[in-house]
Amino acid sequence: MVPEKTRAAQDETSEEQRSGKPPDHEKQYVGFATLPNQVHRKSVKKGFDFTLMVAGESGLGKSTLVNSLFLTDLYKDRKLLNAEERINQTVEIIKHTVDIEEKGVKLKLTIVDTPGFGDAVNNTECWKPITDYIDQQFEQYFRDESGLNRKNIQDNRVHCCLYFISPFGHGLRPVDVEFMKALHEKVNIVPLIAKADCLIPSEIRKLKERIREEIDKFGIKVYQFPECDSDEDEEFKQQDRELKESAPFAVIGSNTVVEAKGQRVRGRLYPWGIVEVENQAHCDFVKLRNMLIRTHMHDLKDVTCDVHYENYRAQCIQQMTSKLTQDNRIESPIPILPLPTPDTETEKLIKMKDEEVSTICACASWMLELESRESLQGCPIEVVLRLPLLCPPVGSWGGGQG
Amino acid sequence: PKKGQSGLGKSTLVNTLFKSQVSRKSSGWNREEKIPKTVEIKAIGHVIEEGGVKMKLTVIDTPGFGDQINNENCWEPIEKYINEQYEKFLKEEVNIARKKRIPDTRVHCCLYFISPTGHSLRPLDLEFMKHLSKVVNIIPVIAKADTMTLEEKTEFKQRVRKELEVNGIEFYPQKEFDEDLEDKTENDKIRQESMPFAVVGSDKEYQVNGKRVLGRKTPWGIIEVENLNHCEFALLRDFVIRTHLQDLKEVTHNIHYETYRAKRLNDNGGLPPMTVETEENHESNL
């Protein structure tokens, strides 16, 4: 898009930005204001993907809610186990993938289901298969990212975990607390109060308060909605506030359409009235849907990549480098850190390098102190550090395999 | 007594049943109260009166049941409690100088609260009922039934009944104790159609159609506890209090207690258990 004249893009309206047409007033316009459009077009072409995990005891309406959220039926062929079959059931991980499209935008949605969670008589460590699964996706991504051909990396990392809390309790149960603590540093947890239509408004209020208190008390780090930008309008900010105050969301799901007040709505028909899923006075379904899909889907992905995945990666690398100084034979999934089976010659070299590093670190902190002292006196000092590679340059690189 | 995980509305229901504050609600909103680490047995006795008839009602609660991560054998304290009451009665009965009216602390009825998941019974429910139906009258009850539509309720009840049957769990009224054809017909209907009762409890009253009714007020309507179109509370109440109360006591005495007694005597070589005036005995007989 070559503008006829170069103008600055200061007072452009969004309309003009989108069309890329140069504004009519006397300004310098280079044309990079069209970048968002270009990104938009490329993204739409590429399509989006999102992986959502659902967890909680069976019978809390997870499947119904997922179907309601995405207006699809993912569980057509599901077979429900009876109690006896469930006595010795272990937690399974089941993935359903569906491609949905809306207004030309494609979404590859993956739902990770966790049947069996919390159902047994003895649920000790029943979250382990789930944490293992999440870690495996991180590990797979880690390997792919470090690999040679990175063109088509499949991102199977879990972007969000909806955790269903039973409305029949008085707050969090021990299994809820343990589950969330095992997962809060690996995935974005969004706790929900399930089947909220069995609670009256005052009960919902109390339960939400109680759950929030317990989440604080146990130090559980659930997904935090980011602060909205200060330049957003007041209405948006108000909505954002309401969103934050409603957590944890009390939800109801339904795939059946019923007639209420002459309208056809998605809801549940009781002898005493009709619960409308999309009525904000009845439940927080709309808030959840808006948050998950319309406003925060991208942020959920960002936090997964920037925080949870990076934590995993850092831990991984740390573990490997600490193992490097201990073990003799190490298996590394990362080809860029070749770890050959060191012989005594190499071991000596490693030790030497280690000492160098610690000396340099000591030097660096001394110099930084010096700098702060000197800068206090008004003399800037530049401190430049050069650290040697931790990998000894040996001939064979066959030790580490991905 | 009442059993089931916390939060299933047990206390509210018992209060509604006896229209009085006989059960202290383990308020979930009390910050100091935690889920107990082991199953506790809390018995509270009340005397209630109606039409000149007095009844001493003891409600036994079992906080902590089913709430832990590992619930293996969590029914054991309960089974133990029930057997202890039989033991107490037995010791009194075989006493040389026994009281005219033996104080009866035996458990006549156990309301087991099933969580309304809509799927099926939970493994824990099965385990509990398998063990306990042999020592006490169990009446399974579907708690917080206002979470299910009529269809879901009917299907769930059918599935639960089938599962209980398949697993050989005899809940009260047990088929084998039907005394005559009249009993059998009446009880068959209850066993095969009404039970487990899907109930809703409430201690608040609202005005509906000019009447004050017990109910729950939701944004989409008022659930009337005693309205048979809404839930089966009235059926449960009539069953337990108005028609089968005496029978519950009789079955406990004639069947469960006798079974326990026979086993104890057999274990003791056909002799009654020793009632040597030990420290323990002396205290319990006071």
- For the ranges A20-24, A85-89, B98-102, which has the lowest average pLDDT? A20-24
Q: Mind listing the pLDDT tens digit for each residue in B117-127? A: 888 888 889 99
- For the ranges A250-254, B17-21, B96-100, which has the lowest average pLDDT? B17-21
Mean of all residue pLDDT scores within chain B: 82
Taking CB atoms and an 8 Å limit, are B220 and A274 in contact across chains? Answer: yes
Is the pLDDT assigned to residue B210 strictly greater than 50? yes
Contact list in B for residue A273 (CB cut-off 8 A) is 218, 220-221
- For the ranges A379-383, B150-154, B243-247, B256-260, which has the lowest average pLDDT? A379-383
More confident call, A395 vs B267 = B267
The pLDDT confidence band at residue A339, using thresholds 50, 70 and 90, is very low
pLDDT of residue A249: 95
The pLDDT confidence band at residue A377, using thresholds 50, 70 and 90, is low
Q: Report the share of chain B in percent with pLDDT over 70.
A: 85
- When pLDDT is averaged across residues B208-213 and rounded to a whole number, the result is 86
pLDDT of residue A293: 84
The pLDDT confidence band at residue B10, using thresholds 50, 70 and 90, is confident
Contact list in A for residue B216 (CB cut-off 8 A) is 200
Residue of A nearest to B222 (CA): A272
pLDDT of residue A382: 52
Q: Mind listing the pLDDT tens digit for each residue in A163-217? A: 999 998 888 989 999 999 999 999 999 999 999 999 999 999 999 999 999 999 9
What is the nearest CA distance from A222 to chain B, expressed in angstroms? Answer: 21
The pLDDT confidence band at residue B18, using thresholds 50, 70 and 90, is confident
CB B195 within 8 A of CB B244: no
Mapping DSSP onto H, E and C, the string for A22-54 reads CCCCCCECCCHHHHHHHHHHHHHHHCEEEEEEE
Q: How far apart are CA B219 and CA A273, in angstroms?
A: 9
pLDDT of residue A41: 86
Q: Is A123 at the interface with chain B, CB within 8 A? A: yes
CB pairs under 8 A between A and B: 133
Give the count of alpha carbons within 13 A of B234, CB side only: 11
- When pLDDT is averaged across residues A379-389 and rounded to a whole number, the result is 48
ipTM over 0.90: no
**Under 8 Å CB-to-CB from A291, ≥6 apart: which residues?**
A190, A225, A243, A249
pLDDT of residue A160: 94
Taking CB atoms and an 8 Å limit, are A60 and B117 in contact across chains? Answer: yes
Would you tell me how many other CB atoms lie within 10 Å of the CB of residue B5? Answer: 26
More confident call, B150 vs A337 = B150
Of A80, A83, A168, the CB nearest to B123: A83
What dihedral angle (degrees, nearest 10) is formed by the CA atoms of A247, A252, A255, A256?
-140
Q: Is B235 at the interface with chain A, CB within 8 A? A: no
Q: Mind listing the pLDDT tens digit for each residue in A27-64? A: 678 888 888 888 888 888 888 889 999 999 888 999 89
Q: Is B126 at the interface with chain A, CB within 8 A? A: yes
Q: Which stretches of A116-183 are DSSP H helices?
A: 128-146, 174-183
pLDDT of residue A22: 54
Q: How far apart are CA B202 and CA A83, in angstroms?
A: 30
What is the nearest CA distance from A295 to chain B, expressed in angstroms? Answer: 28
- When pLDDT is averaged across residues B98-112 and rounded to a whole number, the result is 87
Q: How far apart are CA B107 and CA B86, in angstroms?
A: 9
Burial classification of residue A71, based on how many CB atoms lie within 10 Å of its CB (0-12 exposed, 13-18 middle, 19 or more buried): exposed
- For the ranges A105-109, A380-384, B168-172, which has the lowest average pLDDT? A380-384
pLDDT of residue B20: 53
More confident call, B198 vs B2 = B198
Q: Is A353 at the interface with chain B, CB within 8 A? A: no
CB B196 within 8 A of CB B114: yes
Mean of all residue pLDDT scores within chain A: 79
Q: How far apart are CA A34 and CA B204, in angstroms?
A: 62
Residue of A nearest to B26 (CA): A170
pLDDT of residue A355: 76
pLDDT of residue A99: 87
Q: Is A197 at the interface with chain B, CB within 8 A? A: yes
Contact list in A for residue B229 (CB cut-off 8 A) is 271
What is the nearest CA distance from A89 to chain B, expressed in angstroms? Answer: 10
Contact list in A for residue B31 (CB cut-off 8 A) is 213
